[in-house]
């Protein structure tokens, strides 16, 4: 990863010095152990702040929605797909963005790491060569990164940007012979009562802070339906039905658009698994319409185009 970091810095420095871009968006070390944060660099002399590792979890495509002018962005496969989806929806101009593809083998799921630690505090840690190493008072342990990946990374089939201007390092090997939606099928096998109980239990702790919405690179509406008051579509009560309404409507708004990056689940302060609804819609869109979002910036968004070949099983 150190080699990739050095190449990333060299590339960013060159782009800024040559005047090809006015801003570089990447990652830098965070103030919390085993965390990075988005990094914005406008001066070539500041590129040494940039880093690359499996700790680069934020989907930084979301920041491009509010930035004007030529910008270079260093992206994982899911970041790039979200960016390409936003381009296809007219939210970002392709000519304004230099896409730099970085190899990605997944990001660290800190909640899975916390389960391994079982309450023990760590004072240091590194992620390198496919291993997560942590140290604390009286212990030092290493775990395979592959065992500490979030759901989106486990099932990711586009680990490198499908469209890019510059690529650093070798493309990450694609996952082969994997049942992309094994988790969705397991959920569908539950009875209606079991599904209802799952959602009641999972969403009972939701505080409706809307962090999931804010972290999502494709939740860019100027005014969300939950914030509208004329008319009022959403009641801000503590009733579970209102909480479920928010999550269901948000999932439907992402149908044919969500790229499965998992930014919503990682942002949730309550640890709620928000992947079930989104991944179900991902599967349906792929099976019904042979459509995978974020692969072609020139492709029409799924729900803005119709084809005579679309399935019409609902017509009797």
Q: What one-character-per-residue DSSP string does 18-53 give? A: TTS-SEEEEEEE-SSTT-EEEEEE-SGGGGGG---S
Every domain of the chain and the residues it spans: 2-109+149-302, 110-148
Residue 180, CA distances (Å) to 82, 264, 285 in order: 19, 19, 13
What per-residue confidence (pLDDT) applies to 192? 93
Q: What is the Cα Rg of the chain in Å?
A: 20
Distance in angstroms (rounded) separating the CA atoms of residues 287 and 290: 6
Q: How much is the average pLDDT of 91-96? A: 95
Distance in angstroms (rounded) separating the CA atoms of residues 98 and 151: 29
Distance in angstroms (rounded) separating the CA atoms of residues 303 and 314: 17
Distance in angstroms (rounded) separating the CA atoms of residues 169 and 102: 7
Q: How much is the average pLDDT of 220-246? A: 85
Q: Is the Cα dihedral 12, 16, 19, 22 positive or negative?
A: positive
- Return the exposure string of 232-252: e unless at least 16 CB atoms fall within 10 Å of the residue's CB, then b: eebeeeeeeeebebbbeebbe
pLDDT tens track for 129-188:
899 999 999 999 999 999 999 988 888 888 899 999 999 998 777 666 566 788 888 889
In the sheet where 139-144 sits, what is the strand order?
Answer: 122-128, 131-136, 139-144
pLDDT higher than threshold 80 for residue 312: no
In the sheet where 166-167 sits, what is the strand order?
Answer: 36-41, 23-29, 71-75, 97-101, 166-167
What per-residue confidence (pLDDT) applies to 182? 82
pTM for the full model? 0.90
Q: Phi and psi for 63 in degrees, rounded to 5?
A: -75, -20
Contact between residue 112 and residue 93 where contact means Cβ atoms under 8 Å apart: no
Band of residue 77 on the pLDDT scale cut at 50, 70, 90:
very high
Which of 248, 216, 259, 292 shows the shortest CA–CA distance to 60?
Answer: 216
In terms of C-beta density within 10 A (0-12 exposed, 13-18 middle, 19 or more buried), how is residue 301 classed? middle
Helices 240-253, 275-289: crossing angle, 10 deg rounding: 40
Band of residue 304 on the pLDDT scale cut at 50, 70, 90:
confident
What per-residue confidence (pLDDT) applies to 124? 92
């Amino acid at each position: 990863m150190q080699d990739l970091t050095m190449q990333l810095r060299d590339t960013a420095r060159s782009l800024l010095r040559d005047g090809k871009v006015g801003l570089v968006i990447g990652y830098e070390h965070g103030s919390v152990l085993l965390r990075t944060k988005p990094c914005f660099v406008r001066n070539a002399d500041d590129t040494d702040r940039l880093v690359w590792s499996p700790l680069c979890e934020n989907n930084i495509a979301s920041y491009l929605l509010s930035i004007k002018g030529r910008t270079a962005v260093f992206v994982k496969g899911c970041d790039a797909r979200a960016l390409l989806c936003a381009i296809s929806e007219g939210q970002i101009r392709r000519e304004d963005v230099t896409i730099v593809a970085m190899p990605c083998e997944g990001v660290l799921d800190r909640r899975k790491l916390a389960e391994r630690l079982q309450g023990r505090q760590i004072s240091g840690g590194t992620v390198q060569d496919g291993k997560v190493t942590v140290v604390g008072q009286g212990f030092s342990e290493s775990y395979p990164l592959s065992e500490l990946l979030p759901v989106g990374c486990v099932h990711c089939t586009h680990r490198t940007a499908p469209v890019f201007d510059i690529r650093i390092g070798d493309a990450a090997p694609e996952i082969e012979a994997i049942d992309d939606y094994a988790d969705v099928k397991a959920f569908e096998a539950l009875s209606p009562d079991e599904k209802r109980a799952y959602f009641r239990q999972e969403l009972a702790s939701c505080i409706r802070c809307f962090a999931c919405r804010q972290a999502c690179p494709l939740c860019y509406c100027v005014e969300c339906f939950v914030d509208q008051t004329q008319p009022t579509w959403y009641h801000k009560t503590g009733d579970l039905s209102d909480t479920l309404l928010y999550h269901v409507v948000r999932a439907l708004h992402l149908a044919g658009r969500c790229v499965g990056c998992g930014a919503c689940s990682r942002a949730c302060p309550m640890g709620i698994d928000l992947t079930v609804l989104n991944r179900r819609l991902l599967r349906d869109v792929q099976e019904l319409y042979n459509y995978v979002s974020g692969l072609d910036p020139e492709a029409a968004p799924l729900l803005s185009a119709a084809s005579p070949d679309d399935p019409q099983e609902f017509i009797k």
